[in-house]
Amino acid sequence: THFGYKTVREEDKEQLVGSVFRNVASKYDVMNDFMSGGVHRLWKDHLIQTLNPGPNVKLLDVAGGTGDIAFRFLDYCKKVYGANNTASVTVVDINPAMLEVGKERSKRFGFADSGKIFFQEGNAENLVNIEDASVDAYTIAFGIRNCTHVDRVVSEAYRVLKPGGRFTVLEFGQVENPLVKGIYDLYSFQVIPRIGQIVAGDAESYQYLVESIRKFPPQPKFAAMIKNAGFTLVGQGWEDLTFGVAAIHTGFKV
Ligand code: SAM
């Protein structure tokens, strides 16, 4: 095992995840670019394309961190709907340090007092401040695998969505192609922690991130969880991105 993360107990996971994102918050955005060679940007753009929001959509972006999904969503709606755009987004995250970076960026991007973006501290497993059937769309990008009880996250998403609403998850997946998997494993276990050490001075947090990816259920199993929570899947329920390194899962509350 690496640094003992593989044996982390369930009751310790929330604390561990808390310290990981406290450690990485200020370097989070630049690290994503470093580690993925910028590809996370394409995946996130594709998430918004898949979501295909209408002009009045009220989005809840959970585990929204520094706002990457929220800003893309707002840019998209502004560009596509112009003056008819009344879309808005609430970013929920459990980690105040990540939200602080998000708020700073929101000022920098000119959204701070737009009335279109709101930041809220909260737990994806128990969204106490979000009412039943109150949002049109729910996104969670690279967040759900950090949660202790994935099933609770999915059922909370179901609860807060309006009928007709859409649940969309962007998450790392399992790579099936053996050749690609060989390269990907080498990169994940050898290169990423070293980049973490050099750029953020923190190999262990990135080691955790790599290991959390391997523990998350493979695409068919996660799609089945979404279906079991009551969502209606479209087709098989997910789309692989970059050989399944990431995947977009989606379901409708009908
Ligand atoms: N969605 C952003 C993105 O794609 O850039 C941030 C993803 S980041 C890898 C994961 C985020 O999940 C962190 O900001 C972390 O604080 C948050 N998080 C972890 N557990 C959570 C929970 N139980 N509820 C809400 N947010 C959580």
Task: Judge whether 193 lies within some domain.
Answer: no
Task: Judge whether 89 lies within some domain.
Answer: yes
Is the pLDDT at 1 greater than 80? The verdict is no
- For 85-104, write each residue's pLDDT tens digit: 999 999 999 999 999 999 99
Distance in Å, CA 179 to ligand 1 centroid: 30
Is the pLDDT at 17 greater than 50? The verdict is yes
pTM: 0.95
3-state SS of the chain: helix, strand, coil percent to 5?
50, 20, 25
Task: Judge whether 52 lies within some domain.
Answer: yes
Q: Which atom of ligand 1 is nearest to the CA of 170?
A: 4
Distance between CA atoms of residues 208 and 144, nearest Å: 14
Q: Is 69 in the pocket of ligand 1 (CB under 6 A)?
A: yes
Is the pLDDT at 60 greater than 80? The verdict is yes
Instruction: Dump strand ranges (E) for 107-227.
Output: 117-121, 135-141, 161-172
Distance between CA atoms of residues 62 and 123, nearest Å: 8
Is the pLDDT at 196 greater than 50? The verdict is yes
Task: Judge whether 49 lies within some domain.
Answer: yes
**Whose CA is closest to atom 16 on ligand 1?**
95
Q: Is 68 in the pocket of ligand 1 (CB under 6 A)?
A: yes
Distance in Å, CA 57 to ligand 1 centroid: 22
- For 234-250, write each residue's pLDDT tens digit: 999 999 999 999 999 99
Going by C-alpha positions, the residue among 98, 101, 125, 112 that lies closest to residue 205 is: 98
Distance between CA atoms of residues 188 and 208, nearest Å: 11
CA distances from 252 to 8, 170, 174 (A): 34, 15, 24
- pLDDT of 103 reads 97
Distance between CA atoms of residues 124 and 11, nearest Å: 16
Q: Is 147 in the pocket of ligand 1 (CB under 6 A)?
A: yes
b/e sequence 221-249, b meaning 16+ C-beta within 10 Å: ebbebbeebebeeeeebbbbbeebbbbbb
- pLDDT of 2 reads 44
Q: Give residue 95's domain range.
A: 5-16+36-174+217-252
Q: Is 28 in the pocket of ligand 1 (CB under 6 A)?
A: no
Task: Judge whether 21 lies within some domain.
Answer: no
- pLDDT of 201 reads 87
- For 104-157, write each residue's pLDDT tens digit: 999 999 998 899 999 999 999 999 999 999 999 999 999 999 999 999 999 999
How many folded domains does the chain comprise? Answer: 1
Distance in Å, CA 114 to ligand 1 centroid: 24
Task: Judge whether 99 lies within some domain.
Answer: yes
Task: Judge whether 189 lies within some domain.
Answer: no
Complex ipTM value: 0.99
Task: Judge whether 69 lies within some domain.
Answer: yes
- Give ∠ CA 155-157-161 in degrees, rounded to 5: 120
**Pair of tokens at residue 81:** 């709907």
Residue matched to tokens 């561990």 = 16
Distance in Å, CA 64 to ligand 1 centroid: 6
Contact, 37 vs 195, CB < 8 A? no
